[in-house]
Structure 1
């Protein structure tokens, strides 16, 4: 009977051992992530037969292009306490491993784990379980490379033509590209593989492009030099170069205004450059010049003629005639004298039929204490030299001699009278 009972207990022990759970499960990485740098690996070991007093556990970790192949070992047959903690109970324990991807070739991998449980007293008595990540993951440690295919370095373009920057990258996980011309702002160009630069000015320019992949890794900056030139055998107005047949009249933006070139352009006027714009119109010079009227310069053009009737017609009003029809001035001004006042005492201000008229008054007109008008500007009157005529030294001697003679004559008469 005793032997039968012991055999029964032995059968129950091995049956329980066979039914106990023994597994390893990968938690992370366990999906199709993109990985680079240092990555955390986590997993669980469960062994329902584990007895700390008689068992020990070793661990192997590998990566493979195919799950479960264990192609490249990261850890091989290392005591699991290193990653699960000293004295860990492997009946159910979570463990971690730090995976440094630096040095691993870029590519898609699975993570493989092998857990080996054995008797301390008899290491040959072993039991092992394995698991792999459910999905592969991409390791990408290489900085994205960029190649500019157009334009070629130092390529020349004629002013007004667009410059199209074209580039390629061997990476398939580019999130976006940035482009830039010289020191201008950086432009987010999305995932487009070209960008058009317009309105580049004459001279040398540097065009730049770089990229960022899905792991936020930035590529090295690629650049190319281009040169913009004017059209051959001609000139372009607006290129900031006054050349060829350009002049201040035909292209003031390049050549500017030059007094004496025969063109009244830019800031030139009849007052600042009569050589180009004609003589200045001055109220009071006896000539009824352009812009002068009987209203704004009666000194040159004569006094305005008042219409017959009891009241003069006000340009700002309308009345009715004998027949009852409205009396409307021939020309309705679009402004008023007050609006045309430019605040300059050296101009005669008036409202013309289409715009304000401000004509310089005659030179020498007083415009304030010690001030006078000249060419429409109020300036300081020049100082007047005052010469005081004083007697010369000889005149003083002559006057003194006359006085002496008069005194002598008076004494002589007084003496003989006695």
Structure 2
């Protein structure tokens, strides 16, 4: 074995100059390519990631509507308020994902560009996850403080246990490079601190210490050529690679790392305090009471037909108006896509739907409405699942009476299967 190993190493020495020159050329070429990649300006990436989610996740789970942003431009340290209403849909697909029970009101942003100052559901302060119920309607409010300058796409969102984060309508918000971000707080021991920088120096110190240990350990093992070690292993001498000295050094570095970890814990116990474990309180916001109009209006989607050639979605809706005021269909919403009902518009117009018969539904009357809208807009937003195992359409219909009172009804997944008509002209 020893002789064969020596023969192998002698053979490597004979070819070292040529192989070394070849490796030098390859490394030089790789260095030039790497330098060009570093110097080249990166392309600007921009996309709506929520459109990658399955249609049922966006339309049948949590619906955000009447979303309002207090501003679209502010300075660092100023506040942005998002208000609106979220609805846990009755059409929540229990057969596909876990039933809705626990949710967390939040925002979806490209990193920590804002800090959440306040969040409310149904007027209740909700700093943690809350209990929700299917069919529940919750007015919400989120107050954010601007941190990092730039233009950012911001969504209100609801993170549901077992499902993931479900987002509402988004908007681009510009944070000007002006102002200062601070977050003053009073600790339980009476100290006044700024959470924007509190403990930052200690975090940096411990990271640097850990990095030094890691670099020292890596440098110790990389002091020998990896190719040389590979040659020894290939020749069957792997058992001789690690020397007693190297074992002792590795044990020493492990002890240093352990001492650093335990020392950091001991330091925090001695110099910080008092220590209080994170507190958990499972609140249950009270769902909004349905409006008087909602209690007197009954709707039922009879059918949903996708006309493939014309690109039109046709809904047949039965409406029974038991109120004492005329009612009309005002708009529809699928996830964050809003379609407004307009008399005289063509159904192939983006964001517009037509209804026949036109005009309001009289008090005490009923009507079978035919609603037509451009399905190509739904397809382009990945909201119409024409290639899924269950071709369903789910959304909201908003009705309004003469006094401006509104009622929200669901286009329910369980009753609104899409029937494709591929031969329709």
TM-score of the aligned structures, taking structure 1 as reference length: 0.21
Q: Flag the structure with higher helix content.
A: 2
TM-score of the aligned structures, taking structure 2 as reference length: 0.21
Larger Rg: 1
